[in-house]
A and B are shown apart, each in its own frame.
Chain A
Amino acid sequence: MEQRTLWSRMMAIDRRILYLILAVNIVGALMARVVLEPNIPPAVRSFYETIEALQPGDIVMVSSTWSAGTLAENQPQFEAVLRHLMRKRLRFTIISFTPPARDISHRLARRLTREQGYVEGKDWAHFGYTPDIVLAVKGMSEDIAQAVRQDVRRVPIQQLEVMRGIKSLKDYKLVVDITPSDTLTAWISFRPRDLKIIYCPTSVMAAEAYTFLDSKQILGMITGAKGAYEYEHLLGIVGLGTRFINAIQFSHVLIITFILLGNFAMFMQRRSRS
């Protein structure tokens, strides 16, 4: 039997040890107070500028289809976006395409709006959950009162003050899609042609969106909690993104270090064999 060298042991390191190291690294990084200044990618800057360009009183649709699973990535985005909308005194409505997403976004929005003095029904509304995004977007492009009928509190759409002068998605200025799933293509395909879209995916899903950024089908993107940190930096606020960024970047460093260590071990083992 071949004698197990240090290098072969390093190459076949027990994955539980790796998990432990990562967990310690994340906890340590979350507690660290050092925050490095971000580089703002063009997609984040244009995300910010698209909202900045809106006028007070303009209405924005926030498509929020995320739940507890991706809370660490989508909640920082959701909070920062709502803060920005309220700072600009914009009206907004939220819609979700899964029931857990409705519950979580409604609860969070109620908390955030209360802090900023926004009144539900007057300054903002939650349209609840609709199962089929294609039908919903198509329907709302024609007539929101007909497609959605009532908000999450069962108030008919026509009676909502926030919807005064708004008949369909054609009257909206912007859609913010916050999601880990594939809702973006439905928004791109079925929205009214002139309605602008900005996008908040999870880090994994962001790779798919670069083609849409390139073709200007989406005007800006913030990627996961990292993107939220960059966006918070532009907004000048300290949110969840800022709190999470160290955990993200130190995990990246840790993974790279271990990849290099693994390769070094492989190299040394080959050398010792030859």
Chain B
Amino acid sequence: MGSYQHAQDNWFAAFIIVFIAAAVLINIWRARAGKQLYIRRIPGLDAIDEAIGRSTELGRPVTMIPGLTAFGVEAVQALTIFKYITKQIARFATPMRLLTANPTVYAVAQEAISDAYNEAGRPDLYDPDSIRFLSSEQFAFASGVAGLLQRERVAANFMFGIFFAESLIFAETGNIVGAVQIAGTVSFTQVPFFVAACDYTIIGDEFYATSAYISREPVLLGSMVGQDLAKLAFGSLVVGGAVLSTILGPNHPVIQLLGKPGGWEPFMQWLSQVLGRG
């Protein structure tokens, strides 16, 4: 049997998933019911409009790069941000390029960007050739992006998604051509490169806060509050687990329940013994 392939491997892990889901859904419901929710300032996202303005002034294109992101939640989030940016640039008819290494993301991006121009009331500006699948090979894609950034002297470069070693090639090339650069990634290892070469970097779960921040939709703001509650619960578990592990030892059933696949059964046996004794 694998590690965490099914809820049965440790029902406690499954319980945590249900808890997070409940925290998110309850807060979405509260937000929909009219509860006012606060979201802190994220400077990188405030700078999006500034970067678009610069592109418009210079009359040079805006590039959007979801990196090697495969189609999944990260890609949906990245495309949501790109859709927002496209709606903004549609107002000024600023040219854009969306460059991807994933063919499925490419297909969905075409729809999303077309929708963005429609929603902005400028369907005439939509050019299917501005969304490009360059290559699914990491460094072939990187060289394609670097070449385009250089040739078209882009004025603003937005990188959102999952990135690997190619991140610095994009960011440094963007820096060479003098583009305003905003990056957002959940790829922990690439954050230092983006921080060194970009103007703003959105780190970790701020990436998932982006759509809520941009749209201020109650559903998304509610979801953010639910996520924060879940993080609080995780933090409490970590602190509580560390204290209990110090007191009870790492092999105690309670500690096994908290951190190991298959921890549910010894915990239940221990619990029944304790209750039986009680």
Contacts and interface: CB of A to CB of B under 8 A. Distances in A.
Interface of A: 15, 69-70, 138, 141, 180-181, 188-193, 202, 204-205, 207-208, 215
A215 B261 CA distance: 13
B243 interface: no
Interface string B245-265: 000000000000001011000
A138 B4 CA distance: 12
A35 to B, nearest CB: 27
B176 interface: yes
B139 interface: yes
A188 B3 contact: yes
Contacts of A193: 1-3, 261-262
11 contacts: A69-B138, A138-B2, A138-B5, A141-B2, A189-B2, A189-B4, A190-B2, A192-B2, A193-B262, A205-B189, A208-B188
A204 B188 CA distance: 10
Nearest to B164: A181
B238 interface: no
A208 B189 contact: yes
Interface in B83-126: none
Most chain B Cβ neighbours within 10 Å, of A180, A204, A215: A204
Nearest to B190: A204
Contacts of A204: 165, 189-190
Nearest to B142: A69
Interface string B1-45: 111110000000000000000000000000000000000000000
B172 to A, nearest CB: 9
A191 B165 contact: no
A270 B189 CA distance: 34
Given A181-B164, A192-B1, 17 more contacts: A15-B176, A69-B139, A69-B165, A70-B165, A138-B5, A180-B164, A188-B3, A190-B2, A190-B3, A190-B5, A192-B2, A193-B2, A193-B3, A193-B262, A202-B165, A207-B188, A215-B259
B10 to A, nearest CB: 11
Contacts of A189: 2-5
Q: Considering residues B4, B165, B262, which has the most beta carbons from chain A within 10 angstroms of its beta carbon?
A: B165
A185 B43 CA distance: 32
Contacts of B139: 69
Interface residues of B, number: 16
Nearest to A204: B189
A207 B189 CA distance: 6
A69 B166 CA distance: 11
A138 B1 CA distance: 9
A10 to B, nearest CB: 19
A256 B4 CA distance: 43
Nearest to B259: A215
A180 B165 contact: yes
Interface string B187-203: 01110000000000000
A13 to B, nearest CB: 14
Contacts of B188: 207-208
Contacts of A69: 138-139, 165
Contacts of B1: 192-193
B255 to A, nearest CB: 12
B2 A191 contact: yes
Contacts of B189: 204-205, 207-208
Contacts of B259: 215
A186 to B, nearest CB: 11
Contacts of B4: 189
Interface in B168-208: 176, 188-190
B161 to A, nearest CB: 13
In the complex, which of the residues B2, B5, B188 has the most CB atoms of chain A within 10 Å of its own CB atom? Answer: B2
B162 to A, nearest CB: 9
A55 B1 CA distance: 24
A192 B189 CA distance: 28
Interface in B135-158: 138-139
B74 to A, nearest CB: 12
Nearest to A180: B165
Nearest to A188: B3
Contacts of A141: 2
A138 B5 CA distance: 9
A198 B161 CA distance: 28
A208 B192 CA distance: 13
Contacts of A180: 164-165
Contacts of B2: 138, 141, 189-193
A69 B164 CA distance: 12
A224 to B, nearest CB: 12
Nearest to B176: A15
B265 to A, nearest CB: 13
Nearest to A170: B1
